[in-house]
Amino acid sequence: MLLKKCKIGYMFLLFSIKLLTLSDFFDILAKSSLLTLKKCVGVLLNMKKEWNTVEVLRHVRHDWLNKLQLIKGNIDLNKMDRVKEIIGEIVVEAQHETKLSNLNLPHFTSLLLLHNWETESFKLEFEVIDDYKRGILDDNELTQWTSTFFTILNESIKSYYDNHLILTIEQQQDGLRFFFDFCGIIENKESLEPFLHNTSFGIDVIQFDMNERELTLEVMIPYK
């Protein structure tokens, strides 16, 4: 997977210096992504929205086209330093996606990867500090808790505002640590607080801090 991501990054570089056409880039991208899409589609079909291969390809193509247009616009303005920054950001994003997939939590991984396609109230970014698999987690339990949190957060914040949620996932000796950092406008704290105190999911929030503009919380899930 990492080799595949590096290959895509290399194709980006060739396109950026005009050694590869846009059409050729997408042809190579489609061929290199097909196997991954086939593996993912079984999980995607079980999510709350039914995703088929055509829909996934459409969203992936749209995302890549936006990135290509951003690169091309900066090339036209001769802002090569900015072009290098954008390519660097794409490589880092791809590396985190690879690390997320390596955690062997398919439903949780699909939830995160699909979020920005399904929800517009807040943008999700994530980073995985270490993808070395040290133990086993309940994928369904983690996915259910996270999905519920996202739903309640989505209903509690101001719509059409620049809301961002950054999720950091870090391996610990005894479990997996999740740190959520939200920045935006929270209009209904009363809906979030009962959920964060709720232990019925089998997942405990270690600590959280919330005001009208920010929410930070830490969750530690022990290995089974």
Q: What pLDDT, in 10s, does the model give residues 81-120? A: 999 999 998 888 889 988 998 888 999 999 999 898 877 7
Task: Determine the CATH number of domain 106-222.
Answer: 3.30.565.30
Confidence of residue 42 (pLDDT cuts 50, 70, 90): very low
Q: Which helix (H) or strand (E) holds 214?
A: strand 214-222
Global pTM value:
0.73
**Distance (Å, rounded) from C-alpha 174 to C-alpha 209?**
24
pLDDT band per the 50, 70, 90 thresholds, residue 49: low
* All residues at 6 or more sequence positions from 31 whose CB lies less than 8 Å from its CB, including other chains: none
Where exactly does CATH 3.30.565.30 map onto the chain?
A: 106-222
Query: Facing residues of 124 across strands?
Result: 165
